[in-house]
Amino acid sequence: MKESYDVLVVGGGPGGALAAKAAAEAGLSVLLVEKRPAIGAPVRCAEGIGKGALAEFIEADPKWISTDIERAVLVGPDGTRFTIDGEAAGGKVGYVLDRKMFDRELVWRAAEAGAEIQVHARASAPIMIDGKLQGAVIHQHGKTYEVRAKVVIAADGVESKFAKWAGIDTTVPLWELETCAQYLVNDIDIDPKANVFYVSNEACPWGYIWIFPKGPRCANIGIGIAGTKSGEGHRAKDYLDRFMAKEFPNAKITEIMVGGVSVCKPLECTIADNLLIVGDAARISDPITGGGIYNAMYTGDLAGKTAATAIKSGDTSKKALMVYDKTWRNGPVGTTLSRNYAVKESFIKMDDKKLNSIVHSMSDLKIDDLSVRKLVLAIFKANPWLALELPHLL
């Protein structure tokens, strides 16, 4: 580890990897530090991603794809099912990744572009001089290093501390922090080409249960519920155990994982002097699905490029970095986040009767060329009361 770099990236998830790669490709000296001893492990993710989203950044490779998903199935509280078939939805659906391998591939690509990678290296404090960020204190193998950088990219995930240390309020209200539990389950009968989502305020309050296939008889089965809905006897794991006992009583659980997902609004500002915040650290996972891999890659890449432009111009002030915040916020990512936040706010208030009514109206649909717009219109037609709850979707 050297004493100074152009860019210091804190965190080796998809956001950090894409940021380090973009900055290194622009010719900057880059250090990426990851506190865990191995990139990509342990996995804290259901590993689903859309094909179109992934293709924006990397060509799909069987090395890190577990399953090719052809359809999505929504199951209502009373068991009514609605299937969106890939062909009807325009041919593209998604993948279930092998994130241990996927995250490694992304970091390897950053390394190939010229970034230095240090694992088991934890950023523990920012270096602030005259109130401005100038780098970070890094601990590795019992030693402490002071690493200076012209720009720091905070890509330290949902547990992010870096931006907070630099003076930015990153608090996630408990009711907007989904507490999640997931099992990797073997020897079960599933549709290996379908991602299945169960909605029910009784079975998974303010969240949902997912089955994402990892192989013909193997899947990530998990749940997310609002932090405020969790308590003794009704934690996410308790709900998941009830679901497993009902749906897959003989399943063999070979891995258990717990984690948190923020479903709040993004940070009010994702930059400061010499600082860019990306991915989950910026609170930009999708408020409905909790999905954040694509948004982390998108903001990571944009942050790396923005840092390069700013450093080359000799101005890394908040004003110069503002273009990053404006670009993602005013583009498709920011627009989708605002719309989905409003939808989420409405959906969490719906009881199972209303959720059943929505899924029933969807299951009655006979649409060959299914678009989101047509789907939304058909649901509103069958459930006129929705127009009062979600007027902005019309």
Residues near ligand FAD (CB under 6 A) are: 10-16, 33-36, 44-49, 122-123, 155-159, 180, 182, 222, 259, 261, 279-281, 285, 290-293, 296
Written as one letter, the residue type at 89 is A
Least distance CB 325 / ligand FAD (angstroms): 16
Least distance CB 304 / ligand FAD (angstroms): 13
- Measured from the CB atom, the residue of 122 and 217 that comes closer to ligand FAD is 122
Q: Distance from first CA to last CA of the chain, Å, rounded?
A: 54
Least distance CB 354 / ligand FAD (angstroms): 26
- Measured from the CB atom, the residue of 119 and 378 that comes closer to ligand FAD is 119
Least distance CB 236 / ligand FAD (angstroms): 9
3-state secondary structure (DSSP) of residue 65:
strand
- Measured from the CB atom, the residue of 234 and 374 that comes closer to ligand FAD is 234
Least distance CB 394 / ligand FAD (angstroms): 28
- Measured from the CB atom, the residue of 14 and 135 that comes closer to ligand FAD is 14
Least distance CB 161 / ligand FAD (angstroms): 6
> How far apart are alpha carbons 318 and 325 in whole angstroms?
10
The full DSSP string for 21-33 is: HHHHHTT--EEEE
Least distance CB 262 / ligand FAD (angstroms): 9
Query: How far, in Å, are 4, 350, 377 from residue 202 at the CA level?
Result: 53, 11, 27
> How far apart are alpha carbons 164 and 160 in whole angstroms?
8
- Measured from the CB atom, the residue of 95 and 248 that comes closer to ligand FAD is 95
Least distance CB 210 / ligand FAD (angstroms): 7
- Measured from the CB atom, the residue of 221 and 362 that comes closer to ligand FAD is 221
Pick from 114, 131, 129: which is nearest to 31 by CA?
A: 114
The Cβ of residue 326 has, within 10 Å, a number of other Cβ atoms equal to 11
- Measured from the CB atom, the residue of 10 and 333 that comes closer to ligand FAD is 10
Least distance CB 266 / ligand FAD (angstroms): 12
Angle between helices 293-313 and 318-330 (to 10 degrees): 150
Pick from 270, 263, 56: which is nearest to 155 by CA?
A: 270
- Measured from the CB atom, the residue of 75 and 282 that comes closer to ligand FAD is 282
What per-residue string of b and e applies to 154-193 under the rule 16 or more CB within 10 Å gives b? bbbbbebbbbebbebebebeeebbbbbbbbbbeebebbbe
Query: What is the helix (H) or strand (E) element at residue 155, kind and residue range?
Result: none
SS3 content of the chain, % helix, strand, coil (to 5): 35, 30, 35
- Measured from the CB atom, the residue of 48 and 77 that comes closer to ligand FAD is 48
Tokens representing 245? 């006992």
Query: How far, in Å, are 105, 289, 349 from residue 337 at the CA level?
Result: 27, 11, 19
